[in-house]
Amino acid sequence: MEEFWTLALWALKVWLYLIVGLIMVPAMFGFSLGISETYMTILVNTLEWATLKIQKVYAEDRALKASSSNGLIQRDDGSMEKEFEELRCSRLKQPVGGDFTLSDSFYFTRRGIESIVEDEVTQRFSSEELVLWNLLTRTNNDFQFISLRLTLVYSLGIVVRYCILAPLRITLACIGLTWLVIGTSAVGFLPNWRMKFWLSEWVHVMCYRICARGLSATIRYHNRENKPQKGGICVANHTSPIDIVILCNDGCYAMVGQIHGGLMGVLQRAMVRSCPHVWFERAEMKDRHLVTKRLKDHVNDKTKLPILIFPEGTCVNNTSVMMFKKGSFEIGATIYPVAIKYDPKFGDAFWNSSKYSMVSYLLRMMTSWALVCNVWYLPAMHQQEGEDAVQFANRVKSVIAHQGGLVDLQWDGGLKRAKVKESFKEEQQKQYSSMVVGDDSSSSD
């Protein structure tokens, strides 16, 4: 029995030495030994082979299983007035001041059926559908047996992902978070000199890089000359909590959020000792004026790190960008837009918080093939003269959506858990009412 424990201890030491020497040390100093690149090359070749195999067997079937992003329904971008005009064009006598006609009900019936068949809001809160299989069981398509070789490769992939990659990634995540707590707590005891701020940024970035290596993250940063600067606000589209790891892997940011308990609370308290993150109590988060004031005080201090904010307020499934909350655009600070786009072929990065807890989501990510994404730093943007906060937010959102190849939606991400506001229904009712009643005062003569 003693020999068994001696062998187990020796294996554990070798395991930790390999992790520290081959992964952690290179991650701390921002270079690679080529292990990740070799793994990604083998993975890409394997997935390409599997794709060709599937295409060969299901050549005719492939066209029928098109991605849901192509759309089931072709909608016209015309206004309500235009569509009603087309419906009423067959009438012999056109109304002068506007009136009701039975054919108007066809418009509402058609739009209602379209919303039921293909709701462009709720489908953004489900995993992005893939056209072809990526050798993961997490796909909405029901793939059947294709060939013995493909089944063997899939089985081997399960062994690799759950028996090799998962233990390695969990170990790295634990080490990275532990170092983050210890490192930021230690730096917090130093006096507020320039050395403290430099060490704080280095500790944050180092720990995030270790966590990124723990997810086999391959990140391509574009236009680094546009990186957010101190005294500004970085806004990005939101797909996953891992967005923070992706961005902080290339630089340090001040976080904004609600104070939590448990493990998250331990991390928050440790991080704020060395870096001026902006944490709020639950009651304070409801006070918009207090939040705005604290954010203004932060960005007015040009020595503090740029604030990282996800204005959507919820995670969206890597296909779209939903409405930005106007709060961060009312401050008057320089806005640095960032677009993040994940490659779903290697793993589904979207966090469906209504379906999976944080722990189960992270376990799913740690048993995926890899995390591959592109990050675009866009030129700084400022609020224009005569432009209100909502218009400014929409302009920034459109720029991010265009760069990331995402669909620009006007809907509020709060619809993920809440019903449509009554004001939206009333707006449609008022619009139709004005058409029925008519605005032509001459009709009363």
**Residue 170 structural domain:** 141-423
Q: Is residue 378 part of a domain?
A: yes
The answer for residues whose C-beta is within 8 angstroms of residue 213's C-beta and 6 or more apart is: 23, 24, 27, 36, 172
Q: What pLDDT, on a 0 to 100 scale, did the predictor assign at position 306?
A: 92
Q: Is residue 200 part of a domain?
A: yes
Residue with tokens 């032509």: 440
Total number of residues shown for the chain: 445
**DSSP alpha helix (H) spans, 139-281:** 148-159, 166-188, 194-213, 243-248, 262-274
- CA atoms within 13 Å, Cβ hemisphere of 122: 10
Which H or E run includes 28?
helix 25-28
**Joined tokens for residue 420:** 């449509």
Q: Is residue 441 part of a domain?
A: no
Q: Is residue 48 part of a domain?
A: no
**pLDDT tens string for the chain (445 positions)?**
777 788 888 877 777 777 777 777 777 777 777 777 888 888 888 888 887 777 776 665 544 444 444 444 455 555 666 666 665 665 544 544 456 666 666 666 766 666 655 666 666 767 776 766 777 765 544 555 677 888 888 889 889 999 988 988 888 888 888 888 898 888 888 887 888 888 888 888 888 988 888 888 889 999 999 999 988 999 999 998 899 999 999 889 998 887 877 777 888 888 888 888 888 876 776 777 788 888 888 888 888 899 999 998 888 888 889 889 888 898 888 999 999 999 988 888 898 888 888 888 888 889 989 999 999 999 999 988 888 889 999 999 999 999 999 988 887 766 666 666 666 667 777 776 776 665 544 444 4
pTM of the model: 0.77
Alpha-carbon distance of 194 to 316, in angstroms, equals 38
Number of domains in the chain: 1
Q: Is residue 261 part of a domain?
A: yes
b/e sequence 182-196, b meaning 16+ C-beta within 10 Å: ebbbebbeeeeeeeb
Number of H helices, E strands in the chain: 15, 9
Q: What pLDDT, on a 0 to 100 scale, did the predictor assign at position 260?
A: 75
Q: Is residue 76 part of a domain?
A: no
Alpha-carbon distance of 267 to 222, in angstroms, equals 30
Burial of 377 (0-12, 13-18, 19+ CB in 10 A): buried
CA dist 48 to 40, 54, 114, 345, 364, Å? 12, 10, 36, 10, 22
Q: What pLDDT, on a 0 to 100 scale, did the predictor assign at position 73?
A: 44
Q: Is residue 374 part of a domain?
A: yes
Q: Is residue 238 part of a domain?
A: yes
Alpha-carbon distance of 256 to 136, in angstroms, equals 35
